[in-house]
Chains A and B, each alone.
Chain A
Amino acid sequence: MSGAVDDGDDVYLGCESCGLVSRDVTGDDPGLVQHCSRCGHVLHATKPFSLQRTWACIVAAAVLYIPANTLPVMETTSALQRDEHTLLGGIHELWLDGSWALAVIVFIASIAVPVLKIGVLALLAWTVRRHPDWRRLERARLYRLIETVGHWSMLDVYVVVLLAATVRFGPLASVSTGAGLLSFAAVVVLTLLATWSFDPRLIWRDPPATPTPRDGRRLA
C-alpha cells in the first residue's frame, strides 16, 4: 500500500519514461521546459495541446467513419457472382449463416469499439472544460477502458488482408480489399492517436467550484 502525499502547493511530476519523480520548477511559465534529471525525457504537468489534438483526431475519425461504413471493405468473386461487402453487411451475413458468436465478435471490434472510443473521448474532452468536477473517478475509469480495448478495432483490417491473401483461386473464388477498408483503417489509427493525445490528468485538474474544508485550510 502507499499513501497519497499532501505537500500543499508543490507539484510533483512523474517521468512517463523512467518513473523518477521531480519537483515542478517551471512554475506557471509556459515557455520553460523541464526534463527528467535521470533519463532526459520531457516532463509535463499535462500534455501540451492535449484537448486540441484530441478534438482534431476525433472529428476526423467521425467524418471518416461514414465512408468506412458505406463503402465496401471487401469484394468477393465466385464462379456465380461478384459481391461487395460493407462492415455491417459482413456482420449481417455472418449472423444469417448462423455464426452468431463470430458476428458478435466482429460487431464489437468493428462497430462498438470505434463508436465507443469516439463517444467517450468527446465526452471526456467536453467535460474537462464544461463540467470538471462531474464524476471524476468514473471518467478516469472510462478513459482506462478505451485505452485497453482501443487497438482491437484493427481486427477487421487484418481479417480482410488475410482473406485477400489466401483466397486466390482466380475466377473460381477470390477476395480483394475494398475502398472502405482504407477509411476504416484511418478511423482506427485516428481513434488510437486521439486516445494517446488525451491526457487523463486533465480530469483531475481544476479543484471543485465549491471549496471543501481541506481546500479552505490550504488557502488560509
Chain B
Amino acid sequence: MGRVEGSLVVCGQCGLAHRWQPLPETSQARCTRCDAVLARAHRLSIQGILALTVAAAAAYVVAISAPLMSLSLRGGAETATLMQAIAIAWQEGQQPIAILAGITALLAPAAFIGLRLYVLVPLAAGNKPPGFAWCVRALHQAARWNMVEVFTVGVLLSLVRLAGLAETSPQAGLFALGALTALFAAIESAGLKHLWWHVQ
C-alpha cells in the first residue's frame, strides 16, 4: 500500500506541488525547489510499527518508575526517578519548570505511545478507530513536545558532572530511557501521514 503514481504531493516546507513517481528502495524524494525531504521509500508495516510501539510502552514504564541514577556520599545514598525529580522541582517552588519537564519528558511520550496504540491496534485489524483524524493531529503535537532524547542526554550529563563530587552509578531507568530514545527514532522515521493510506 502506498501513494498512487501520478497523484500529487505538496512539499510541507515550501508548498510546491509534485507529481508522484515511485521511489527506488531505501531512497528519498526531495523537493525540486527547496530540497526538503518529500518522502522516504522504505516504510514499516502497520504491524511493524505496532510491535515497536508495544516495546516503547514497556521501556516507558521502566524509564519513568525505575531510578535513573544513584549517588552516594559519606555513607548516605540518594536515587532519583523521573517522577521524583519533577515532584522535587514542584515542592521547591519551581512549578512552571516542573510542568515543562512533566509535559516534555512524561506526558508527551505517554501520548506518543498511548495514542499510537489506540490507533494502530484497530488499523492492524483493518478497522478505523473513532476519532482517528483527531488522534493523528494530537500525535503531531506529541511528537513536537516529546524531548525524551534530550532528557536522556541530560541524565548522562548529570552523571558525569556528579562523578567528581561523589560515587555515581547509572541505574535501570537510564538504560530504559536509552532504549526509548532509539525506539522513538525508529517509530518516527515512518511518519504519520502514511496512517491515512490504511483507512478507507
A→B interface (CB under 8 Å): 1-5, 7, 12-14, 16-21, 38-41, 45-46, 94, 97, 99, 102, 105-106, 136-137, 140-141, 143-144, 151-152, 154-155, 157-159, 161-169, 172-173, 176-177, 181-182, 185-186, 189, 196, 200-201, 203-204
Contacts and interface: CB of A to CB of B under 8 A. Distances in A.
A151 B147 contact: yes
Contacts of B110: none
Interface of B: 7-21, 23, 29, 32-36, 38, 68-69, 71, 73-74, 76, 78-80, 84-86, 88-89, 92, 94, 96-98, 100-101, 104-105, 133, 136-137, 140, 144, 147, 150-151, 153-155, 157-158, 160-162, 164-166, 192-193, 196
B17 A102 contact: no
A91 to B, nearest CB: 12
Nearest to B83: A165
Nearest to B151: A158
Contact of A14 (B12, B85, B105, B136): B12
Contact of A185 (B71, B96, B162): B96
Query: Which 5 pairs, one residue from A and one from B, show the smallest C-beta to C-beta distance?
Result: A14-B10, A158-B154, A19-B193, A165-B85, A21-B8
Name, among A13, A19, A45, A137, the residue most crowded by chain B CB atoms within 10 Å (CB to CB): A19
22 contacts: A2-B18, A2-B38, A17-B137, A21-B7, A39-B133, A94-B161, A105-B157, A136-B34, A137-B34, A144-B13, A155-B157, A163-B162, A167-B162, A168-B88, A182-B94, A182-B96, A182-B97, A186-B96, A196-B144, A200-B14, A204-B15, A204-B34
A180 to B, nearest CB: 11
A219 to B, nearest CB: 20
A177 B151 contact: no
A4 B33 CA distance: 8
Contacts of A152: 150
Dominant secondary structure of chain B at its interface with chain A? mixed
Contact of B35 (A140, A162, A167): A140
Name, among B69, B79, B154, B162, the residue most crowded by chain A CB atoms within 10 Å (CB to CB): B154
Nearest to A153: B150
B95 to A, nearest CB: 10
Nearest to A4: B32
B154 A159 contact: yes
A203 B15 CA distance: 10
Contact of B89 (A106, A141, A161, A201): A161
Contacts of B153: 155
Contacts of A21: 7-10, 17
Given A154-B150, A157-B97, A173 B73 contact: yes
Contacts of A196: 144
